[in-house]
């Protein structure tokens, strides 16, 4: 699924201000991949706090969603994605294909979100 400008896409000089395409697919429909520039990655670590932990435990008992954790996780996912896109921008990539997110517990109170993909140059001729 491509990430568009509304999701914090990065501009670069090579594609003349067009938003960088980030997709989980191995290609970009309608555009041939001209060059593979390398693997790019981003990561973010979020820590839990005592109040969010307490409310999450209550939610586990009574049911429902832990909004505090969901919000922290979404923020970490966006930060990791921004890191990945910044790396692609430094390589003058038009797109990042094959995006994959990974999640891991760090210690007892932190969560790491990382993402990887392949930076590519596209043939943008119509």
Q: Dump pLDDT digits (tens) for 87-114.
A: 999 999 999 999 999 999 888 778 899 9
CATH number at residue 29: 3.30.110.70
Tell me the range of 13-22, 70-79, 88-97, 117-126 where mean pLDDT is highest. 88-97
86 pLDDT higher than 50: yes
Give me the DSSP letters along 58-91: HHHHH-S--HHHHHHHHHHHHHHHHHHHHHHHHT
Instruction: Check: CB of residue 81 under 8 Å from CB of residue 42.
Output: yes
The pLDDT value given to residue 62: 55
Nearest alpha-carbon partner for 77 in 117, 112, 110:
112
117 pLDDT higher than 90: yes
The total domain count for the chain is 1
**Mean pLDDT of all residues belonging to the chain:** 80
Q: Dump pLDDT digits (tens) for 47-59.
A: 866 445 545 555 5
Q: Tell me the angle at which helices 67-90 and 50-62 cross, rounded to the nearest 10 degrees.
A: 120
| pTM, full prediction | 0.74
Please state, in angstroms and rounded to a whole number, the distance separating the CA atoms of residues 79 and 114: 9
């Amino acid at each position: 699924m491509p990430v568009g400008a509304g999701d914090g896409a990065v501009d670069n000089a090579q594609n003349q201000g067009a938003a960088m395409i980030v997709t989980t697919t191995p290609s970009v429909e309608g555009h041939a991949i001209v060059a593979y520039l390398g693997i790019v990655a981003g990561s973010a670590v979020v820590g839990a706090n005592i109040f969010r932990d307490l409310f999450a435990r209550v939610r586990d008992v009574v049911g429902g969603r832990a909004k505090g954790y969901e919000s922290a996780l979404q923020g970490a996912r966006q930060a990791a994605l921004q890191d990945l896109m910044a790396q692609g921008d430094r390589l003058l990539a038009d797109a990042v294909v094959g995006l994959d997110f990974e999640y891991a517990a760090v210690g007892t109170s932190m969560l790491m979100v990382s993402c990887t993909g392949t930076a590519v140059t596209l043939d943008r001729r119509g």
